[in-house]
Amino acid sequence: MLTEYGNVKVGPEWIVNELAPPLFTRVYYVCSGDVTCFCAGRTLKLKHGYLYLFPTAASYRLVQNPDDTLDCTFLHLIISPSLIPDVVEIDLTHNTLLRLLLLAFREAVDKEGRTVLESLSDSLQIYLKEHGCFTEVSGEIGKVMKEISRCRNRMQSIEELSAFCGYHPQYFIRKFRKEVGMTPHQYMLHLHLQEAAVMLRRTETVAQAAACTGFSDIKNFEKAFKGKYGMSPAKYKKTGGMFP
């Protein structure tokens, strides 16, 4: 699912610091800029004209030279129940199909509606999946991830989720955390907040976004949202939520 997108040249203060697995993947088509990625002991300089997929299931940092800031086309994608465990770097020099798809997306950002952009995003995801860029979570944990994704309008209990896959709750939590990198509750919370962000970017009010994603207390929603996105839901809605 496409949640955020844009063509952007960021300001000198820009930085990404994912202290926990974000559960969505940043996709960058890099045009220019001096940016370094730090992930799992690996240091990677982003190259111009390359495509990058950043992990859903690992923490990482992106740091730029403030004198040479990032210019890119970006997408934020939720690919559950698939995961990306590490940074994926794709050279587009001889990959005409993928390069043209990204150029079409870059052009459409400023000229087309969301329906066209979602269609292009779906095509990109199909291509990346067929070329082995995603890691599938199979078996019962994969089924639970799909169930959590399907029911984003309410918070499910650990007992309900563990019963869904036939595991004892404590075993379920341990197994889920081992495969996904966080507890089922953390995973569910992240997905609900991502859904709320999508709603805020469209037309819903803060109260509507909270209620429709299973938050019965608006203050808890605002606190959780700010913890994930670094700003209040009201500010996120006001700024359009578009950030790489």
Most confident of the following: 26-30, 57-61, 224-228: 26-30
- What would the mean pLDDT of 57-82 be, rounded to a whole number? 93
Relative to beta strand 71-77, strand 50-53 is: unpaired
- Alpha helices in the chain, H assignment, sequence order: 96-111, 114-130, 139-150, 158-165, 169-180, 184-201, 206-212, 218-229, 233-239
Per DSSP, the three-state class of 83 is strand
Judge if pTM exceeds 0.75: yes
Domain range list for the chain:
2-135, 137-239
pLDDT tens-digit map of 8-20: 999 999 999 888 7
pLDDT tens-digit map of 75-112: 999 888 888 989 999 999 999 999 999 999 999 998 88
pLDDT at residue 243 greater than cutoff 80: no
Q: How many residues does the chain have?
A: 244
pLDDT, residue 63, reads 97
More confident residue, 110 or 133: 133
CATH number of 137-239: 1.10.10.60
Give the pLDDT band of residue 202 (cuts 50, 70, 90). confident
pLDDT at residue 208 greater than cutoff 90: yes
Task: Return the CATH superfamily for domain 2-135.
Answer: Regulatory protein AraC (2.60.120.280)
pLDDT at residue 242 greater than cutoff 80: no
Average pLDDT, the chain: 90
